[in-house]
Structure 1
């Protein structure tokens, strides 16, 4: 009698002979023989293989919270129990180690999984070793003790038998934990998931799969945990006497930052240190310092961060790949859907779908608010390198130009929508309004400026566009006025110093640079007079450079206005004679030009500073 999945007792009576056979005490997945007298040559006993977890790492750290959360859903009959849990995240983030560590701890809990564990690596992201579900089921059924001749050939039949076996074992008090590693698609995983409501499954994937599973998205580890992992890994390889990591905390922190909290990168770094016990941490920290070489140097024999990323990238179609390649051109920490659409020159809604797909593949991450996206530091380097190899230099530069245009148009609209005192104070050096951008309200403009400030700062301080340095200057002009209105003085100084540096380069737009410096210098002077006296030095530098450019180009009107600004600076510095002298020069130029408006302004400043009645 075939009793696949049957539980004892299984009685069989022979009424004529008055004989009763009874089988009890287990779940039988093979052939069951019953009779009065049985002569049979029994096949070799097949022992179930229900303890095949990979070895765990001794330097696993920084994941106590994640393990605790996973264990909560594995508690038998617990309120948070889920039939399946999916751990998803970037390549090299430590998904396999987390699920194996969690499974090991779950097995140590009394009565949680008395039946043991089934583990299978699906190799979902390796095109050469990817395991089809029917092949995985063949191995799982054998691990459960199923004789090979009893395993059906088709996927559906194998899945039905496998699930029946798990259900029978759970019903008999032998609950099993199923662990599926490196699953790449829902189709690869779904036939392997138990359906009895008692058997638990834990999966790992680089993709957020639609499986109805409880989702756990894994992030990088913090710097303290990264240094701890580095130290433990080196000590494990070289013994407790290797104290290089502890002895060089600054260099260890630099290596951890270069690895950006990615466990795979940290393990490779530790292996490189373990290879040469005489190598100081400063050597590796310096080797990883150059961004354009970092990915190539984070490799050792058959382990490489670059290769891990390749397996995810190679699954992208051309359109997804192009968007991914363009994202690093935004120098800021994240990017909006609209900015990405502008760079890629495709529809906003289509861009949003593409970005969500990339996020589900964990090649990018959702940002701090909906509609914003970010790249892990090492993925950013990878995407940029891939982009340089696959997108022409002209196309990349055109995408950057589109992005800068977008930022300039929008920041102009936002600054003028808010119309803070900075615009009026900048007269006559206020920036021109750029057409094209629009906000529904002052509040929308404020939210946009707050959200984009890190990106605007990064765009201003990045190397200028080829042949378009005036765009960087225009961006700095608007951004500086916004920073002044928010009292973000450190950023305001950074923007001013950036424009100062640009003004000393050749082939620039001197007029725009000088007017921007005059406007920013005026803002710095204002805050130096009221809140931050230490801003005065930067204000002097900005006004001095602006005045020099105006004089060099014989821009008399702007020279006069720069002198008016200088008079305020001198007055704030208690240099009253120089203040009166600057105003007198300005008034003379305005008189020469017949500029009554300028003369009136100079007289007004003189009265405000009370320079008329001071000797």
Structure 2
């Protein structure tokens, strides 16, 4: 008796999972709890559950573990007419040799006969493996449990089945390496001379990514390539680029990813189906329970529905507890379902609007906390900087994605305001790529809407991101546009801020004279507006340009003014920045002892704020000062501390440079060590 299907052609990967199943089957393994009587392989439709189960069954039989034979039954759990447990028992009894007329009519009698027949088979021939494929519920499977502990039952399902007391083996998508191997092997089997995967490894990796590393999608992609021998892999990958149309292409006429997902979707209760659709519209790679609650407009988190969808593998646990994600192709499926129904489209747009308003409210509160100074109103929700940064860190990907909804008119205004709230945070975390993305989306949306104020702010923030990313020329253009927009609107205060950022970009570009002029203009405009804190920033920036222009004495005065203004405003971090730059100016003025003292003051502040990047920059300057003073051991200690600070700031290049400097310390100081400036 051997009813196993043939092995899947081109089966690859799954080494760990295969070992886990074989370990559960091994009759020579030490005595274990009865749970090993059942192994339940679960996973998303198309994840390769049946292929793995069949591979494991063939391997186990090849090792002689099941001399009594193998029984296979497809329960069609997700079809319109699934196989019932009674029908499955009848089929299994027939396979065991029971004559039809001897099969009882009732379920309990059939189950009893099934167990006694298996027990007799165990005595006469040995253990039997029963493979129940494609189950959708414990009720389909529970009557199939063998009574004799020598037998094994292996179940595959799109649902986790913890109720069975089974050894659970959830399957995830393939690794990138396994996906690459699957594509390569599939093309080689069809034609051993087909080297398109090996010749285009980068394109193959991109294709695998577009397939979400899902075995079914990869097999379909491979079939499409086999059918069109002249089709470059890069061309097929490009066809899968458009997210909404991806599932349309993943169909080879016989197999379809959309059809596989539709089987699961149609079985969902209305609440779960709605939640899946809305999750497909959520921003970012994963979302927290709080955002899910906003999406669904529920009074309380839809925990039960989320847990149910997780058991079906349509929803997965995200990056951290209380976070949720969809496989890329499930997300594409959900987006497609929504797009096909006008009422669902409107429901989805309303849900996105709620999420955007939610994000704006709390990003504004977090931004207020990051900018908070004594005397200001207390922001909502966040009691300190750490709490605000923690929330922003957790939601960053979603926040950045939500800003990009600005392309739709109904979201543009809120998205532009949200982008403004993220500038301080993204600069603090040195997430310059995200900052540029957010700035561009806001700028374009504000321009289309005729929102000149929002456009000017967006240009200014975009310029700051470009400058920090080392693109000074583009930053100059951006700040010039911001300056002109604010000037045209008669907003002298914001014009002054734009002048200040333009001056920093000019300084970065080596245009010190123009930078001094721009920053002087900024200082005067901000001073006239009565913004004493902003004036402190303007003095600090002016000092940087004066020092670059060789006017060290004036730079010392400017940074001293900045330090005092920041201190008066209660801006301890800004005061630390002024101390650093004052140290640089003192250094240039030949006052090295005072410079070291200033760096020490700055370092205390940065450590207090856990501003590790600026701490690293300050330690860099201190190390240079010790080298010039012929204190190599102190210099080396500072270099190593700088490397540690840069590492904590996720600045690996600067960390490596600091370690290299520590290694060369004993070789003598840099003849002209330039201290590094720090901008507010």
TM-score in terms of structure 2 length = 0.74
Give runs of aligned pairs for residues 501-512 of structure 1, distance below 5 A. 501-503=444-446, 505-512=447-454
Compare the two structures and name the one with the higher helix fraction.
2
- 1:127 corresponds to 2:80: yes
Cα contact 1:464–1:472 (8 A) shared by 2: no
Offset of residue 359 of structure 1 = 1.2
In 1, Cα distance between equivalents of 2:48 and 2:541: 67
1:216 maps to: 169
Structure 1 unaligned runs (5+)? 1-49
Cα contact 1:496–1:542 (8 A) shared by 2: no
Cα contact 1:220–1:260 (8 A) shared by 2: yes
1:38 maps to: none
- Relative distance call for 1:222 and 1:346 in structure 2 (3 A) is same
1:368 maps to: 319
- 1:322 corresponds to 2:322: no
Offset of residue 78 of structure 1 = 2.0
Write the deviation string for residues 52-71 of structure 1: whole angstroms up to 9, x where unpaired: 10011230011111100111
2:209 maps to: 257
Give runs of aligned pairs for residues 526-545 of structure 1, distance below 5 A. 528=468, 534=470, 536-537=472-473, 539-545=475-481
Q: What SS class does the counterpart of residue 153 from structure 2 fall into?
A: strand
Cα contact 1:469–1:509 (8 A) shared by 2: no
Cα contact 1:83–1:201 (8 A) shared by 2: yes
Cα contact 2:526–2:535 (8 A) shared by 1: no
Offset of residue 272 of structure 1 = 1.8
In 2, Cα distance between equivalents of 1:569 and 1:181: 64
Write the deviation string for residues 201-237 of structure 1: whole angstroms up to 9, x where unpaired: 1100001122111111101112222222122223323
Give runs of aligned pairs for residues 224-373 of structure 1, distance below 5 A. 224-237=177-190, 239-349=191-301, 351-373=302-324
2:6 maps to: 55
In 1, Cα distance between equivalents of 2:154 and 2:538: 78
- Relative distance call for 1:442 and 1:161 in structure 2 (3 A) is farther
Cα contact 2:440–2:462 (8 A) shared by 1: no
Write the deviation string for residues 130-179 of structure 1: whole angstroms up to 9, x where unpaired: 21111111111111122222211111110111112223333456111110
Offset of residue 105 of structure 1 = 0.3
Structure 2 unaligned runs (5+)? 556-680
- 1:562 corresponds to 2:498: yes
Cα contact 1:477–1:520 (8 A) shared by 2: no
Offset of residue 597 of structure 1 = 4.6
With 201-210 and 545-554 compared, the bigger mean Cα shift is at 545-554
- 1:467 corresponds to 2:402: no
Write the deviation string for residues 73-116 of structure 1: whole angstroms up to 9, x where unpaired: 11115245701011000001100000000000011113x21111
Cα contact 1:413–1:433 (8 A) shared by 2: no
Write the deviation string for residues 492-524 of structure 1: whole angstroms up to 9, x where unpaired: 333334434445x32243213323543564577
1:550 aligns with one of 486, 496, 508: 486
- Relative distance call for 1:149 and 1:497 in structure 2 (3 A) is same
Q: What SS class does the counterpart of residue 215 from structure 1 fall into?
A: strand
Alignment length, in residue pairs?
A: 544
Offset of residue 382 of structure 1 = 0.5
Cα contact 1:337–1:348 (8 A) shared by 2: no
Cα contact 1:547–1:562 (8 A) shared by 2: yes
Q: What SS class does the counterpart of residue 154 from structure 2 fall into?
A: strand
Offset of residue 279 of structure 1 = 3.4
RMSD across aligned positions (CA): 2.9
Larger radius of gyration: 1
In 2, Cα distance between equivalents of 1:610 and 1:543: 17
In 2, Cα distance between equivalents of 1:173 and 1:433: 81
- Relative distance call for 1:433 and 1:383 in structure 2 (3 A) is farther
- Identify the structure with bigger relative contact order (alpha carbons < 8 Å, sequence gap 6+): 1
Offset of residue 609 of structure 1 = 4.3
- 1:518 corresponds to 2:460: yes
- 1:103 corresponds to 2:39: no
In 1, Cα distance between equivalents of 2:249 and 2:308: 29
In 1, Cα distance between equivalents of 2:186 and 2:344: 41
Cα contact 2:295–2:351 (8 A) shared by 1: yes
In 2, Cα distance between equivalents of 1:602 and 1:233: 62
- Relative distance call for 1:433 and 1:310 in structure 2 (3 A) is farther
In 2, Cα distance between equivalents of 1:290 and 1:610: 47
Write the deviation string for residues 338-369 of structure 1: whole angstroms up to 9, x where unpaired: 101101101333x1211111111111111121
1:94 maps to: 48
In 2, Cα distance between equivalents of 1:202 and 1:557: 72
TM-score in terms of structure 1 length = 0.81
Offset of residue 285 of structure 1 = 2.7
- 1:381 corresponds to 2:335: no
